[in-house]
């Protein structure tokens, strides 16, 4: 009888210990799952509103023009989410892979108007990478009362000398011109197809827009923020819009990044000044120059390829977060 009671007691104790262990294990799993699920919010526990701008941020791409390729390859790799983690509302946009500055501008204008309607915001903060810098400036002049700020990111405000080389070896109306135009348009249409878009493509119109001569014509029409000296800053505020820019001067930053081979080559012919593989240091100046010599190339500016960058170089995502905070502190 006593043995039976002892066995029963031991069983009860074992069951109790087992239940306690299971409960503790469940709690541990719950805590671990919660921490894992919220790992991206860990920073936000201490700085939840760091990037919370007054107005939404709209990102305009440069050449290639996609927001996502085949549904998952982001143009702005990891950048929108990095900004959203601190409270910013961020809207990536799309455009033709290659076309003129004005066509890109009209494409962005339509999307900005939709974003304003959907978000209910009174204004937007426009940020353009590369040729996308021309797009945001175009929009700002069409609807200036709807734009709070303009930011040029590695944008060739004064054009790219390399575009002259292409136009020189492939002038309109020649056999070489027809071949280059056909190949360029084929690549453009393929990229647009992979992005799930249906924009009209015109490779030669894009190259023509980016020549220093035609960039100067564009700047004459959209002068706000454009420097009046060779390598100075532009107006910090124009038409009630705050103007900013930043860029880099390293064409090769990591040999493991396939894009660096391309930018290493183009950096030798794109311009004679220090450059990011495509855009010259002084050509990138617009409004308040935050910095013009980051150790980044043209791809690093958008955290490509897939976040690979030079050792000990600033994370591109941090630059965007810092700028969102800058806009926030400016009341934008």
Q: Is 276 a catalytic residue?
A: yes
**What is the per-residue pLDDT across 85-112, written as a single tens digit (0 to 9) for each?**
999 999 999 999 999 999 999 999 999 9
238-261 per-position pLDDT tens digit:
999 999 999 999 999 999 999 999
**pLDDT (0 to 100) of residue 87:** 96
| Active-site option among 154, 222, 285, 298 | 298
How far apart (Å, rounded) are the C-alpha atoms in residues 166 and 144? 34
What does the pLDDT read at residue 271?
Answer: 81
Burial 119-153 (b: 16+ CB within 10 A, else e): eebebbbbbbbbbbbbbbbbbbbbeeebbbbbbbb
In this prediction, residue 71 carries a pLDDT of 85
Given 101, 130, 251, 283, the catalytic residue: 130
In the prediction, which pLDDT does 111 show? Answer: 98
pLDDT of residue 15: 38
Q: Where would I find the beta strands (DSSP E) of the chain?
A: 57-60, 68-69, 73-74, 90-92, 124-129, 147-153, 237-238, 241-248, 288-294
Question: pLDDT band for position 205 (50/70/90)?
Answer: very high
Task: Give the separation between CA 4 and CA 48, rounded to whole angstroms.
Answer: 61
DSSP string, 176-207: HHHHHHHHHHHHHHHHHHHTT------HHHHH
292 tagged catalytic: no
Taking residues 163-168, what's their average pLDDT?
90
* pLDDT beyond 70 at 19: no
What does the pLDDT read at residue 72?
Answer: 85
Q: Which of 257, 276, 292, 300 is catalytic?
A: 276
Task: Map residue 294 onto helix, strand or coil.
Answer: strand
Measured CA distances, 173 to 155, 165, 176, 179, 185 (Å):
29, 16, 9, 10, 16
Q: Tell me, what's the pLDDT at 26?
A: 32
Section 14-27 average pLDDT:
39
Nearest to 103 by CA among 8, 180, 218, 191: 218
- What pLDDT band is residue 272 in, cutting at 50, 70 and 90? confident
User: Is 130 designated active site?
Assistant: yes
What is the rounded CA–CA span in Å between residue 59 and residue 88? 12
pLDDT score of 13: 45
pLDDT, mean of residues 296-314 = 95
**Alpha-helix runs per DSSP H in 38-143:** 44-47, 79-84, 101-119, 132-142
Q: 44-329 has which fold?
A: Rossmann fold (3.40.50)
Q: Does the pLDDT at position 283 exceed 60?
A: yes
Average pLDDT, the chain: 88
């Amino acid at each position: 009888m006593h043995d039976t009671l002892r066995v029963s007691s031991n069983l009860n104790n074992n069951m109790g210990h087992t239940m306690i262990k299971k409960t503790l294990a469940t709690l541990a799993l719950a805590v671990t799952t919660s921490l894992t699920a919220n790992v991206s919010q860990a920073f936000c526990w201490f700085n939840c509103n760091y990037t919370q701008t007054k107005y939404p941020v709209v990102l305009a791409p440069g050449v290639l023009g996609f927001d996502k390729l085949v549904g998952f390859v982001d143009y702005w790799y990891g950048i929108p989410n990095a900004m959203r983690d601190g409270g910013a509302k961020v809207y990536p946009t799309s455009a033709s892979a290659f076309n003129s500055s004005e066509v890109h501008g009209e494409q962005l204008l339509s999307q900005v108007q939709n974003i304003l309607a959907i978000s209910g915001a009174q204004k937007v903060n426009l940020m353009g990478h590369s040729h996308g810098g021309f797009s945001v400036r175009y929009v700002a002049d069409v609807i200036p009362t709807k734009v709070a700020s303009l930011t040029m990111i590695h944008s060739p405000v004064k054009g790219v000398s390399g575009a002259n080389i292409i136009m020189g070896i492939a002038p309109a109306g020649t056999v070489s011109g027809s071949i280059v135009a056909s190949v360029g348009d084929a690549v453009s249409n393929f990229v647009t197809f992979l992005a799930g878009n249906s924009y009209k493509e015109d490779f030669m119109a894009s190259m023509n827009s980016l020549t220093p001569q035609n960039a100067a014509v564009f700047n004459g029409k959209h002068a706000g923020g454009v420097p009046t000296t060779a390598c100075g800053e532009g107006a910090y505020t124009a038409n009630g819009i705050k103007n900013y820019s930043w860029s880099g001067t390293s064409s090769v930053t990591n040999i493991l990044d396939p894009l660096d081979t391309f930018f290493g080559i183009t950096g030798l012919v794109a311009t004679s000044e220090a450059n990011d593989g495509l855009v010259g240091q002084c050509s990138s100046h617009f409004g308040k120059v935050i910095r013009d010599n980051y150790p980044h190339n043209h791809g690093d500016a958008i955290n490509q390829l897939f976040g690979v960058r030079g050792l000990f170089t600033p994370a591109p995502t941090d630059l965007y977060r810092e700028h969102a905070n800058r806009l926030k502190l400016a009341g934008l």
